[in-house]
Chain A
Amino acid sequence: MTATEPMNAPVPSFDDEDEGGRKLVLICSKGSLDMAYPGLVLANAALGEGIETHIFFTFWGFEIINKETMGDLKFVALGNPATHMPNAVMGLPGMTALSTKMMRKQIADLDIPEVPEFLDLIHESGGHLWACRMSADMMKLTEDDLYEGVEGIISATDFMELSQGAQTIFI
């Protein structure tokens, strides 16, 4: 029997060609642990579907690609009604460290990588990472301060060119 014999089984349509023109741009503008993950998860999923994927990090989103902070993002429960915890308690000293520790554990329990490793995964999957020029200038950061996979620090105009025809999501 050869591998090319006719068969009546359905064959999944992987739509390689259809996805050819699809492009996703994620703008990551927040620097907290809980707001870093949505962009990373979506980028990873898009890459796994063969979609051209770019992440543009701006303002507080720099925390995700700044070598100094990327491994140490925090989750702040204070003022977040979704935690259902009283602010009087969540404002006490040490509560941010505690809630961050708890969230890190929940993420690790699901076998989801920490931020630096997640960036590696996205980078190796062919994702493109970009940093915002104005944010870099404000924070006095250069490419040397940023995760190695970041391809460049680009201007708002560059971003317009980059995102042409893309589905764009602001986080």
Chain B
Amino acid sequence: MPVATMQGREIHVDEEGFLTDPSEWDEELAKQLAANIGLELTDRHYEVIRFARQDAAEQGETPTIRRMQAVGGFQTKELFQLFPKKPAKKLSYVAGLQKPVGCV
């Protein structure tokens, strides 16, 4: 497992760069992660990210896009706008979570 230095501290990531310990994440780090993949975070991004993190903490796994809509109330179309092309993966990366494992 690579250990990266971000924001002046050590962050544990997997080989692709996804954080392996969600507790090492904070909202400042999210800004940097987003910039890494060409995103600039708005307040709305943060609302989505906070829900995803809370749900992941409660469920023990990263929510899928379907769950983000069904449980979080975030419309799929909007998620595609906020995190273009690959919303589930980009959201998990920026939120400091692992990629969702569910099929749907």
A residues whose Cβ falls under 8 Å from a Cβ of B? 1, 3-5, 7-14, 16, 19, 41, 44-45, 48-50, 110-113, 118, 121, 124-126
The answer to whether A112 touches B104, judged by C-beta atoms less than 8 angstroms apart, is: yes
Chain B interface residues (CB < 8 Å from chain A): 2, 4-8, 11, 13, 15-18, 28, 31-32, 34-37, 65-67, 69-70, 75-77, 80, 84-90, 93, 102-104
* Contact between A14 and B89, CB atoms less than 8 A apart: yes
Given contacts A9-B6, A11-B36, contact A3 B31 (CB under 8 A): yes
B76 touches A10 (CB 8 A): no
Contact between B37 and A14, CB atoms less than 8 A apart? yes
In the complex, A124→B79 CA distance in Å? 10
A14 CA to B90 CA, complexed, in Å:
8
Residues from chain B with Cβ under 8 Å of A19 in the complex? 85
User: How far is B80's CA from A126's CA once the two chains are assembled, in angstroms?
Assistant: 9
Q: Nearest residue in A to B92 (C-beta to C-beta)?
A: A12
Q: Closest 5 CB pairs between A and B?
A: A9-B4, A50-B85, A10-B17, A3-B35, A124-B76
* Contact across chains for A111 and B67 when beta carbons are under 8 A apart: yes
Nearest CB of A to B94, in Å: 10
Is there an interface contact between B85 and A12, defined as CB atoms closer than 8 Å?
Answer: no
* Residues on B with beta carbons closer than 8 Å to the beta carbon of A3: 31-32, 34-35
Nearest chain A CB to B8 CB, angstrom units: 7
Q: Which of A7, A14, A112, A121 contacts B32 (CB 8 A)?
A: A7
Contact between A41 and B18 (Cβ–Cβ < 8 Å)?
A: no
The CA-CA distance from A14 to B5 in the complex, in Å, is 21
CA distance A112 to B80 in the complex (A): 20
A11–B102 Cα distance when bound, in Å, is 22
Chain A residue nearest in CB terms to B8: A1
CB–CB A121/B37 < 8 A: no
CA distance A45 to B88 in the complex (A): 10
| Cβ 8 A contact of A11, one of B37, B84, B85, B86 | B37
Partner of A16, one of B5, B36, B76, B85: B85
Mind listing 15 A-B residue pairs with CB under 8 Å? A7-B6, A7-B36, A9-B17, A9-B36, A10-B2, A10-B16, A12-B18, A12-B89, A12-B93, A48-B88, A49-B86, A50-B84, A113-B104, A125-B65, A125-B77
